[in-house]
């Protein structure tokens, strides 16, 4: 019997590709070319499965052009790049890679929070530009992290991992989520207190966004919400770009309505609003929150096993160790 045909849409760890090749007839993209919409459809047309990343848009048009397609396995926890309603209608299974990236992503939220609050990248750029002539008592005064109030919007597993890390900084944690956590989870998350979004924005010194993107969460943080935040507050977004209204955020940063922002994601990434580059009070990173070597390997392994489970359920198990 011939093997199912799959597309691995982006460059993949060689061991994972080898594993996939033992089960599937694989079209790979080790050159990591970015396929346009039409090319992605052409490449997917004769495939039974796709291994995607959050950069590939799996649209209703693609799904209807690919009648053989049975599974799309996204190497990401977020899946807003996939039209889930159209996939469901077409009978295409969609999988993501939850859990394996929780701790790494939580670590990065802290990296961004610390860099933003303590002006790490801003002062480094200034130093590299040859500006440091004399030590000054009042240069690069930032905000404290220890003892501050941390506000987390989106209290899933990553949000809870971020909250747990705040214990060492003696912080108070407020959170907002679609639903309140069970009491034991709140306790474990540094005694996080469930509050309304507005209360969180008014009280938090550092606000971290960890909620999934959906039409409902589009522009969760826009001009009205930014106006509620403390003037010294920082905003960290490690979730998805469209959750923040970038134009409103740029205005708030420029007018110092909030102190600073740390952004790993942008509304139209990899493009982003050029005005961000004119601001010194924003730390910008290229969507790397889950990008540690072990975690990206774990995400790739998880997606590969998901595809085997979806297309060849009788063969599941046994990835070669990394």
- Residue closer to ligand DGY by CB (options 77, 249) is 77
| Long-range Cβ contact pairs of 85-89 (< 8 A, separation 24 or more) | 86/59, 86/60, 87/58, 87/63
In the complex, least distance from residue 53 CB atom to ligand DGY, rounded to whole angstroms:
6
In the complex, least distance from residue 9 CB atom to ligand DGY, rounded to whole angstroms:
13
78 contributes a contact to ligand DGY by CB under 6 A: yes
User: Other C-beta atoms within 10 Å of 288: how many?
Assistant: 16
- Residue closer to ligand DGY by CB (options 78, 156) is 78
* Contact range with ligand DGY by CB under 6 A, out of 11-19, 72-80, 87-95, 150-158: 72-80
**Binds ligand DGY (CB under 6 A): choice among 16, 77, 113, 226:** 77
3-state class of 35 per DSSP?
coil
Q: Which of 164, 188, 269, 297 is catalytic?
A: 269
**Structure tokens that stand for 223 in this block:** 């001009």
Q: Is 296 a catalytic residue?
A: no
- Residue closer to ligand DGY by CB (options 56, 122) is 56
- Residue closer to ligand DGY by CB (options 177, 295) is 295
Q: Which of residues 282-321 bind ligand DGY (CB under 6 A)?
A: 290
**Binds ligand DGY (CB under 6 A): choice among 101, 171, 192, 311:** 101
Contact 266, 98 (CB under 8 A): no
In the complex, least distance from residue 54 CB atom to ligand DGY, rounded to whole angstroms:
3
Answer positive or negative: Cα dihedral of 69, 265, 144, 196.
Answer: negative
112 contributes a contact to ligand DGY by CB under 6 A: no
Q: Which residues of 47-77 are buried (b: 16+ CB within 10 A; e: fewer)?
A: bbbbbbbbebebbeebbeebeebbbbbbbbb
- Residue closer to ligand DGY by CB (options 76, 298) is 76
CA distances (Å), origin 165, targets 200, 260, 277: 19, 21, 30
Contact 111, 240 (CB under 8 A): no
In the complex, least distance from residue 135 CB atom to ligand DGY, rounded to whole angstroms:
39
User: Other C-beta atoms within 10 Å of 251: how many?
Assistant: 14
156 contributes a contact to ligand DGY by CB under 6 A: no
In the complex, least distance from residue 55 CB atom to ligand DGY, rounded to whole angstroms:
8
Q: Which of 119, 240, 267, 296 is catalytic?
A: 240
Q: Which of residues 198-237 bind ligand DGY (CB under 6 A)?
A: none
d(CA 257, CA 240): 22
Q: Is 193 a catalytic residue?
A: no
**Binds ligand DGY (CB under 6 A): choice among 16, 24, 48, 54:** 54
Residue located via tokens 């303590």: 118
In the complex, least distance from residue 129 CB atom to ligand DGY, rounded to whole angstroms:
31
Could you please report the per-residue DSSP string of 43-97? Answer: HHTT-SEEEE-TTS-B-HHHHHH-TT--EEEESSS--TTB-HHHHHHHT-EEE--
Interface residues toward ligand DGY, by CB under 6 A: 54, 76-78, 101, 290
Query: Which residues does the annotation mark as catalytic?
Result: 240, 269, 287
């Amino acid at each position: 019997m011939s093997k199912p045909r799959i597309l691995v849409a982006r460059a993949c760890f060689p061991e994972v590709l080898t594993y996939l090749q033992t089960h599937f007839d694989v079209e790979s993209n080790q050159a990591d070319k970015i396929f346009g919409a039409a090319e992605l459809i052409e490449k997917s047309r004769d495939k039974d499965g796709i291994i995607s990343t959050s950069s590939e848009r799996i649209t209703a048009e693609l799904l209807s052009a690919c009648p053989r397609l049975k599974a799309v396995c996204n190497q990401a926890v977020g899946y807003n790049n996939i039209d889930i309603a159209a996939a469901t209608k077409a009978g295409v299974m969609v999988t993501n890679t939850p859990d394996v990236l929780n701790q790494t992503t939580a670590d990065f939220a802290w990296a961004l929070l610390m860099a933003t609050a303590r002006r790490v990248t801003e002062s480094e750029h200034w130093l590299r530009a040859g500006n440091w002539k004399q030590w000054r008592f009042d240069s690069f005064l930032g905000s404290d992290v220890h003892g501050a109030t941390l506000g987390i919007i989106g209290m899933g597993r990553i949000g809870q991992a971020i909250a747990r890390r705040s214990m060492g900084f003696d912080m108070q944690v407020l959170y907002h989520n679609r639903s309140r956590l069970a009491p034991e989870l709140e306790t474990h998350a540094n005694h996080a207190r469930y509050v309304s979004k507005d209360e969180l924005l008014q009280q938090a010194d550092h606000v971290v966004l960890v909620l999934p993107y959906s039409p409902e969460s589009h522009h969760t943080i826009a001009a009205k919400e930014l106006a509620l935040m403390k003037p010294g507050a920082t905003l960290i977004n490690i979730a998805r770009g469209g959750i923040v209204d970038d134009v409103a955020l740029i205005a708030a940063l420029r007018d110092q309505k909030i102190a600073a922002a740390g952004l790993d994601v942008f509304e139209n990434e990899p493009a982003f609003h050029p005005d961000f580059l004119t601001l010194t009070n924003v730390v910008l990173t290229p969507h790397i929150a889950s990008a540690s070597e072990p975690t990206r390997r774990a995400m790739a392994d998880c997606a590969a096993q998901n595809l085997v489970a979806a297309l060849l359920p009788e063969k599941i198990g046994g990835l070669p160790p990394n």
